[in-house]
Structure 1
């Protein structure tokens, strides 16, 4: 079943702990007290996770006003509701960082979803039926389980779903978005939501997508790349990037356009990252670690005849080496 939202009191307490931890620095005793509060009640942990995700999404280093917002919420005597918190935090962030706002308009997803990740975060979850779920950066899902059937709604971003060892293997896992519905049987599936389509690939088991016009199901072939929309299913050209490499903390490219590579790296960092048009079609192949996307960007001049133009730490443009 979908978890209910934490109550207002728990959210206020979570904000208080979050602010206090930043002020106390690395104080093991204080961190232990915070952990005891989190473990005292499931609502405490849920409130903590959602406040942390929102905090990370705002990137307090880039948006100083967000820290003021958290302190304002901490001392407020009004009932704290999710929409009120988002309105206040979003309004202050808008003043502090237009670049952040343009990149993270879908702020409500990590706040209201059952499971979510912030920028640069990857998360492993084992669901009630034994299905293993991994979320990539900036992803959000809702989950429902009635004791037999598991339903996963991909709200944004990217997931890997492994349902090869579940309590009820005879039942498929239903995965849907606003424009697509899929069924996974005993499979390991990678899905990425992009606009009105879902990019799908899988290497084990069976995967089917529902046809909007007939309501029937189309079986997809494994080890292929597929594009699923409300209008149907299309096979995609061989991908220039390994669809599951991110689950190992990697980007693996094969003759990938530089512009496309930078677009992928941008998903794991805050700020603005692009390249000039005259080098957008440069090709890049290799294995790159996602743990430090900033270092990854700075390695580009060693691989290609390019240079980095930095207006700020958060604004980088890759240009042809002069």
Structure 2
């Protein structure tokens, strides 16, 4: 574990912050990267300072400036020099906001979307053809029903129950593939360079943007689709899709996976200590009130929740 920044010499801390600003705010060339690698490997303190700053970035990414400041002021980092603390706030808000807005909250996706949800929100719509569209937390989709029936999943997760009044397939486009369905119930979730497809009724056809021949997925199957291959996953349990009822149902899932899922339904940082990440967790948890679900898990499994602000939670051993 990297030491708190209060244990890092000011000159090293300054250098680490400046490197983070250079690499994040600019487009570094090969020479800059080479210089950074040389600095990083020159001293273990350099690496520790860099790792700690990157950890802070991930914990406070995208929080409002006041919230980030309030949280940082409760950490040991608040005792560093004022000038350095201000730079940390820049990294936690401005730099973090870059990744937050482009990866998690992307306003441009909502601007071009016909349907969207905020973090923690689930909504349902009936489409012009009678199909029923559900969007999970922080999701966005656009619609094109002129000449064809097409839904483009821009981010997040959807569930579709296709209308039965047309023999024309409803198409769902994702970055990795195109799905065709005539009379089916299925879900599509965007993950890191993957689309996860799960069929609960009927069947769908999948055409990859590149890499493999068209694929037919039947009811009860789940597949991970990349741009180059398709991989069948174990049969999903009956608890799959519980998000449409505002629930997360876990059956002996690692704590890290359960908390990672609950983290999708709240704004801010939700972390956990490495030594408890593999703890098997079972239960039915509300995604409408994720903080209460985290508190319930901590109570049942004898864990401790550290809360600095309403945006920052971390679960550890009691």
Give the TM-score taking structure 2 as reference length. 0.67
Change (3 A) 1:97 1:313: farther
SS at match of 1:263: helix
Change (3 A) 1:212 1:200: same
Q: Match for residue 165 of structure 2?
A: 167
Q: Are the equivalent residues in 1 in contact too, given 2:212–2:228 (CA < 8 A)?
A: no
Change (3 A) 1:227 1:129: same
Q: Are the equivalent residues in 1 in contact too, given 2:141–2:151 (CA < 8 A)?
A: yes
Change (3 A) 1:185 1:312: same
Q: How does 1:220-231 map to 2 (within 5 A)?
A: 220-231=217-228
In structure 1, what is the Cα distance between the partners aligned to 2:96 and 2:242? 28
Query: 289, 294, 298: which is aligned to 1:292?
Result: 289
In structure 2, what is the Cα distance between the partners aligned to 1:284 and 1:135? 26
Q: Are the equivalent residues in 2 in contact too, given 1:212–1:232 (CA < 8 A)?
A: no
CA RMSD of aligned residues (A): 2.7
Q: Are the equivalent residues in 2 in contact too, given 1:99–1:271 (CA < 8 A)?
A: no
**1:166-217: per-residue Cα shift (whole Å, max 9, x none)?**
331x111111112211112201111100021111111111111114557742
Query: 244, 247, 253: which is aligned to 1:247?
Result: 244
State the number of aligned residues: 233
Q: Where do 5+ consecutive residues of structure 1 fail to align? A: 1-61, 67-92
In structure 2, what is the Cα distance between the partners aligned to 1:242 and 1:183? 25
Q: Where do 5+ consecutive residues of structure 2 fail to align? A: 1-62, 68-89
Residue 221 of structure 1 deviates from its aligned partner by 2.5
Residue 138 of structure 1 deviates from its aligned partner by 0.5
**1:104-136: per-residue Cα shift (whole Å, max 9, x none)?**
434221222111111111111111111110000
Q: How does 1:248-267 map to 2 (within 5 A)?
A: 248-267=245-264
**1:241-276: per-residue Cα shift (whole Å, max 9, x none)?**
933110111111111111111111111001100101
Residue 239 of structure 1 deviates from its aligned partner by 4.7
Q: Which has the higher contact order (CA 8 A, sep 6+)?
A: 2
Q: Match for residue 146 of structure 1?
A: 146
Q: Match for residue 188 of structure 1?
A: 185
**1:7-61: per-residue Cα shift (whole Å, max 9, x none)?**
xxxxxxxxxxxxxxxxxxxxxxxxxxxxxxxxxxxxxxxxxxxxxxxxxxxxxxx
In structure 1, what is the Cα distance between the partners aligned to 2:212 and 2:101? 34
Residue 302 of structure 1 deviates from its aligned partner by 1.8
Specify the structure having the higher radius of gyration (Cα): 2
Q: Are the equivalent residues in 2 in contact too, given 1:202–1:224 (CA < 8 A)?
A: yes
Q: Match for residue 112 of structure 2?
A: 112
Query: 274, 289, 293: which is aligned to 1:277?
Result: 274
SS at match of 1:181: strand
Give the TM-score taking structure 1 as reference length. 0.66
